Amino acid sequence: MARNHRRFDQDFREGAVQPVAQDLGIHLTHCASTADRPGA
């Protein structure tokens, strides 16, 4: 598990996680906007 965490830290520093975080942010924004619509 420690090895996986270190791997994640390395990937994060290399920017591999950034596009995923960006997609997640877009997804959350999309969900929030659709939740405001009736019948969504």
Task: Report yes or no on 40 lying in a domain.
Answer: no
Task: Report yes or no on 30 lying in a domain.
Answer: yes
pLDDT value of position 28 = 73
Task: Report yes or no on 9 lying in a domain.
Answer: yes
Q: Which helix (H) or strand (E) holds 15?
A: none
Q: Residues 10-36: pLDDT tens digits?
A: 776 766 666 676 777 777 776 677 666
Tell me the residue range of the domain where 17 lies. Answer: 2-35
CA 35 to each of CA 2, 9, 18, 19: distance values in angstroms, whole numbers, following the listed order: 38, 34, 26, 24
Whole-model pTM over 0.85: no
Task: Report yes or no on 28 lying in a domain.
Answer: yes
Domain count, the chain: 1
